């Protein structure tokens, strides 16, 4: 058996403590599986006195996490602090420059600085592994790097945020509205006190930017991800979607267009009976469409101590076995320029919900306005009874249109026109319908 892989861990929150527990429980097995021990040498966190339920006997404590990058007796630094800037970025950059391998669960860091960090890792001939940064315990990064290397990837569709999926699932099963379910999610620990990154789609967008780079060989391009959250989805929308044979999900989608890559995160109507529609609660799923393998779906827990720590350990095992590969499959110097922002050219059918003024002729005026905007209607559903799919007794009737396929620019102009229409109260809600690649 060769010399141990000596590691230092920065951050002893839920994930960091989980990694320590696995190393303690599975140390002998990991040594046999890797052909060398994985030895925890040092840790760093904010509060040395906090009881984390782990045994750190014989492990050096460093008040300054940067000491891990400088230490001669550490081969690998596991950055489990979080955040795209500050100490997390400084530690990763310093560790790579010092010739140390890095394992991180930090999706924001990789999404914002992945290409630059990949260059540092390749210059030092060390690994930069980040399996835990995307979809928790689902081994999607490893699958993209290795198992699917023989495929030209055509598209990725993912449910990448467990908080949003939990909220939408609860809204569907209980009939409650967004704000009510969000409060419960916060009390259960599924949502943060400030849930903006989750419900606003930013967390999913970080993960999507990473997957798009792996899939299409482009530089990591978070800036050009189109992002919408689930804050405006109501119980009314969930009920209408069910009536039409759909479920509402927050999807993260990367796909090849004629002129580049489209990256988008937004609520979508997903056909019932498809794999992604069946993903419920805090679970994540990633559907990959490859030219050789066809349609592949991976599902599992996307967060939490066990799944995320498990993903960190998978990266440690690869490095202990001597596997060092370019972080984004091909060398950073060969990654293509960032994807063009092609969202306006994207085409789909749309779900359009608005509140119409309850007067004779209003529906005729609204449909005429849509026709003038070049939006063709496939179906119209109107509900006037209080308590039935959105009737609220306000004199404003919820009306839903399902459109034929049109492009984003046309739909955006139609929505803006309707928002100023005298027969429409407020700004209409638009949700894309994803029923092509998902079946």
Question: Which SS3 state, helix, strand or coil, does residue 218 take?
Answer: strand
Angstrom CA distances, 377 to 77, 125, 160, stand at 56, 57, 31
Instruction: Return the DSSP state at 55.
Output: -
159/4 Cα distance (integer angstroms): 38
Q: Which of 62, 291, 354 is nearest to 154 (CA)?
A: 291
Choose, from 107, 207, 247, 249, the residue flagged as catalytic.
207
85/394 Cα distance (integer angstroms): 48
Beta-carbon count within 10 A of 86 CB: 11
Residue 14 makes CB contacts below 8 A (sequence gap 6+) with 304, 305, 308
| b (16+ CB within 10 A) / e for 169-196 | bbbbeeebebeebbeebeeeebbeeebe
Is 249 annotated as catalytic? no
Asked whether the beta carbons of 162 and 284 are under 8 A apart, the reply is: yes
C-alpha neighbours within 13 Å on the C-beta side of residue 298: 20
Residue 377 makes CB contacts below 8 A (sequence gap 6+) with 367, 370, 401, 402, 403, 404
Q: Which residues are catalytic?
A: 207
């Amino acid at each position: 058996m060769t010399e141990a892989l000596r590691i230092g861990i920065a951050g002893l929150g839920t994930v960091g403590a989980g990694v320590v527990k696995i190393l303690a429980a599975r140390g002998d097995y990991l040594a046999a599986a890797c052909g060398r021990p994985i030895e925890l040498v040092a840790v760093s966190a904010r509060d040395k006195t906090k009881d984390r339920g782990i045994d750190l006997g014989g492990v050096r404590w460093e008040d300054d996490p940067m000491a891990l990058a400088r230490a001669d007796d550490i081969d690998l630094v596991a950055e489990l602090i979080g955040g795209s800037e500050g100490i997390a970025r400084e530690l990763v950059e310093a560790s790579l420059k010092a010739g140390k391998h890095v394992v991180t669960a930090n999706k924001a860091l990789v999404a914002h600085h992945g290409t630059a960090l990949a260059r540092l890792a390749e210059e030092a001939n060390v690994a930069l592994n980040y399996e835990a940064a995307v979809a928790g315990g689902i081994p999607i990064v490893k699958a993209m790097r290795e198992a699917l290397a023989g495929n030209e990837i055509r598209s990725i569709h993912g449910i990448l945020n467990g908080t949003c999926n939990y909220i939408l699932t609860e809204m569907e099963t209980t009939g409650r509205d967004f704000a009510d379910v969000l409060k419960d999610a916060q009390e259960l620990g599924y949502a943060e006190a400030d849930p903006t990154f989750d419900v606003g789609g930013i967390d999913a967008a970080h993960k999507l930017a990473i997957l798009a780079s792996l899939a299409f060989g482009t530089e990591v391009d978070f800036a050009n991800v189109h992002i919408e959250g689930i804050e405006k989805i109501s119980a009314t929308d969930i009920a209408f979607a069910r009536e039409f044979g759909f479920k509402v999900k927050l999807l993260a989608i990367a796909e090849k267009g004629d002129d580049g890559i489209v990256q988008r995160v937004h609520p979508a109507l997903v056909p019932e009976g498809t794999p992604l529609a069946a993903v419920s609660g805090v679970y994540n799923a990633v559907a990959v469409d490859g030219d050789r393998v066809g349609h592949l779906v991976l599902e599992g827990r996307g967060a939490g101590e066990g799944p995320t720590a498990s993903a960190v350990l998978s990266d440690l095992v690869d490095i202990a076995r001597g596997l060092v590969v370019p972080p984004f499959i091909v060398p950073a110097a060969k990654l293509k320029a960032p994807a063009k922002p092609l969202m306006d050219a994207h085409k789909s059918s749309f779900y359009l919900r608005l509140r119409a003024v309850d007067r004779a002729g209003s529906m005729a005026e609204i449909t005429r306005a849509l026709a003038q905007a070049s939006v063709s209607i496939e179906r119209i559903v109107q509900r006037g009874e209080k308590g039935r799919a959105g009737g609220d007794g306000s004199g404003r009737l919820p009306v839903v249109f399902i459109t034929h396929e049109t492009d984003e620019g046309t739909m955006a102009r139609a929505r803006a026109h309707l928002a100023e229409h005298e027969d429409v109260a407020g700004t209409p809600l638009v949700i894309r319908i994803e029923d092509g690649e998902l079946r």
